[in-house]
Amino acid sequence: MFKVEDLRYKYPKNPSDVINGISFEIAKGEIFGFLGPSGAGKSTTQKIMIKILEDFRGTISYNGKDIREYGDDFYEDIGVSFEMPIHFSKMTAMENIEFFLKLYKRNADVEKLMRRVGLWEHKDMMVGEFSKGMKIRLNIVRALLNEPHMLFLDEPTNGLDPTNAQILKDMIREFREAGGTVFITSHIMADIDQLCDRVAFIVEGEIKEVDSPRNLKIKYGKRTMTLEYKENGETVREEFPMDGIGQNETFLNLLQTKEIETLHSGETTLEDIFIRVTGVQLRDEQ
């Protein structure tokens, strides 16, 4: 659906490129995560893909056609949810939505969307009186107004309570199940892990990894099994190689004879992979 090839970009006032020849593809119906530390080039890449930034080098094609050849009708097909609130604060939620709705040829069922994110009861409230979470939810409604085929989400769950974050994640999955494609950036690795079919890590304008969360966990994890069991009132911890574990007599003997407390594979987390690939602690990012 989206194909990025050898993308390079330099801001006019910068001495060098901030995007250094990145390439990746996003398949139709895929949820693609784009991760990296601040200043790595995530937002720049997204802004190029949504045609806000021009004068890039390389090629980006959407549905087989160079995005440079698309006119403003490109935006009939995509939805963008920004991280920051982007509404007219002295207008009600509904006045905001109705204004944007009229700008598109295709219109979604607004009541259904607003009800889904729990804003229908607040539709006549001034957006300036909304909490941050409500504004973020309204951003999502705004992004889905034109029934897009491709959705760009920048930190979609940032600022949402767990219940609303879950609703939003469900909506993203439903969007994918209905045939939609999603490009998502987030610092919340648990969300990325739950949602994304594949993720790319970008560092200093270069892509270091592109793969599914599962494959990355296998690649960066240790192929071991760690066993914790009780012996003489104390917890004993032993690690075994994953290869040939079914024939490892010591391991099997411990399973049969000891009181097992925990049993873990050496699979790592996406957060650990982020730190290893980018060299940046996530808490420094947030």
Partner 1 sequence: MNSKRLWILIVGELSRLNKYGVFSISILVAFIWGVVLFLISDSVLGTFLPFVLFIDATMMSVMYIGAEMHFEKTESTISTMLVTPVSNAEMVLSKVLGNTIHNLISSLLIVAAFYIAGQLDFINELGFSLILVILGIVLSTATFTILGLVLSYYHKDFTDLLVSMFVIIFVLMIPAVLLMFGVIKGDFWETFMLVNPMQAVLEVIQGGFYNAAGELDLDYRYFLSLGYILVGGIVLYFFWAIPKFQDYAVRQSGV
220 binds partner 1 (CB under 8 A): no
In the complex, the smallest distance separating the C-beta of residue 64 from partner 1, rounded to whole angstroms, is 21
Angle (deg, nearest 10), helices 132-144 and 162-177: 10
Q: How many residues bind partner 1 (CB under 8 A)?
A: 32
Residue numbers 103-132 binding partner 1 by CB under 8 A:
103-105
Q: How far apart are CA 226 and CA 262, in angstroms?
A: 8
| Binder of partner 1 out of 23, 30, 50, 194 (CB under 8 A) | 50
Provide the mask over 166-195, with x wherever binding to partner 1 is found by CB under 8 A and - wherever it is not: ------------------------------
3-class SS of residue 279: coil
Q: Would you call 147 exposed, middle or buried from its count of C-beta atoms within 10 A (0-12, 13-18, 19+)? A: middle
In the complex, the smallest distance separating the C-beta of residue 227 from partner 1, rounded to whole angstroms, is 49
Q: How far apart are CA 7 and CA 28, in angstroms?
A: 20
91 binds partner 1 (CB under 8 A): yes
14/286 with CB nearer partner 1: 14
Identify which range of 57-65, 82-90, 197-205, 222-230 contacts partner 1 by CB under 8 A. 82-90
63 binds partner 1 (CB under 8 A): no
11 binds partner 1 (CB under 8 A): yes
For the chain, where are the alpha helices, taking DSSP H only? 42-49, 74-77, 93-101, 110-116, 132-144, 162-177, 189-195, 213-220, 249-257, 270-278, 282-285
Tokens, residue 241: 């190689």
85 binds partner 1 (CB under 8 A): yes
142 binds partner 1 (CB under 8 A): yes
Q: How far apart are CA 276 and CA 221, in angstroms?
A: 11
Question: Which residues contact partner 1 by CB under 8 A?
Answer: 11, 43-44, 47, 50, 52-54, 72-76, 78, 80, 82, 84-91, 95, 99-100, 102-105, 142
